Amino acid sequence: MKTVIKNGVLLDNQNSFKKADIEIEGKVITKIGENLATENCNVVDAGGLLITPGLVDLHVHLREPGGEHKETIASGTLAAARGGFTTVAAMPNTRPVPDTVENLEALNRKIEETAHVRVLPYASITIREAGKELTDFASLKQTGAFAFTDDGVGIQEAGMMLEAMKRAAAQDMAIVAHCEDNSLINKGSVHEGRFSKEQGINGIPSVCEAVHIARDILLAEAADCHYHVCHISTKESVRTVRDAKRAGIRVTAEVTPHHLLLCEDDIPGLDTNYKMNPPLRGREDRDALIEGLLDGTIDFIATDHAPHAAEEKAQGMQLAPFGIVGLETAFPLLYTELVKKGVITLKQLIDFMTIKPSESFSLPYGELKEGATADIVLIDLETEKEINAEEFASKGKNTPFNEKKCYGWPVMTIAEGKIAWEKGRVQG
């Protein structure tokens, strides 16, 4: 039976609202228009809510297998649906790592069995993400790998990274990099800056990230490889990527909501919910990230959703693991802090979270049009609500934004034509 979403509002390319209905048959959007017929159809009354494409997040940690006490594919993808995401790409720092055909096949089966939304699995660049031996890129691509990354650790040897890029290019696949030179980390747990000095703790310098990006950009040029920078965080990194794009090198970059909205000045003492990697940098870095997003240096927004158990985060700033959750709060936070305050437009925000990541990796998602996959979100832009971590579908409650009041809350998420999440209830 067809489904018709009635009385919705779409955003056009001029950032103007227009009323519209959307007809869905199976997994596909079949009609977009006004006053669509509803005979013999399931009807969803949008009641004036904004209708957008399903959000796309190409950097999440679902923890399964091996870290199910932090998150599972089921809980993480329900969190994604609750946040309006219909496509997520799962990082490979699990145990076991998806570094062989067998491990990736097992992961694909678990995704098929338990995921609430589409999951694109990364495969690792090296065996066990140990940085010693490259994986079999060709067989992993054939088994469904989305791209290759050792996210969580940077590839330390330039020769190994160059060879990885050559192999990825031969398969028309991307190398996605966590950029961090281990010799410069200095056992840091926060950014090397004002906060680290005040607290008397080791800091991670900005050059730790930027020097790896600069190296990798030159290697990507030599290998003719698509190179993607994870969670860019420093003004030096932005400048390096900007220069590379001007030189015609095939590099893309992402930025997280927390790096756009927070800096080291916002850390209220030794609160581990403000500990993430890369760390919150200086105010000038945050300003450079916003500028880079607006001028096209940074291609899209990704959450780096990184759930941890409460007892792990309770170990103190130096021992607690890096990372915060983000799937369920990303859109409301960015809408409230950037759109409502006039930093970016609503159209830009939606593009940064839908079509821009899709275009960067040639994915057929992130658009509302006839014939497209029916990945759709209904969003309430008018109701203010407080973030409550205890209500999260994610097992992880580790967020620095708890109790913050926001607008722009997803109310219903439709993935491939089926309701994946609706406010107040979950569909099977």
Residues that are catalytic: 304
Cα torsion 290, 294, 296, 302: sign: positive
Phi first, then psi, for residue 171 (nearest 5°) are -100, 5
Query: Is residue 141 a contact partner of residue 169, using CB atoms and an 8 Å limit?
Result: no
Q: How far is CA 408 from CA 171, 176, 178, 327, in A?
A: 40, 30, 30, 14
Q: How far is CA 346 from CA 33, 53, 369, in A?
A: 21, 13, 19
In angstroms, how far is CA 59 from the centroid of its own chain? 4
**Residues in CB range of 336: below 8 A, 6 or more apart:** 405, 406, 407, 408
What would the two tokens of residue 414 be?
A: 């439709």
Query: Is residue 236 a contact partner of residue 205, using CB atoms and an 8 Å limit?
Result: no
Query: Is residue 416 a contact partner of residue 373, using CB atoms and an 8 Å limit?
Result: yes
The position carrying tokens 């790998």 is 145
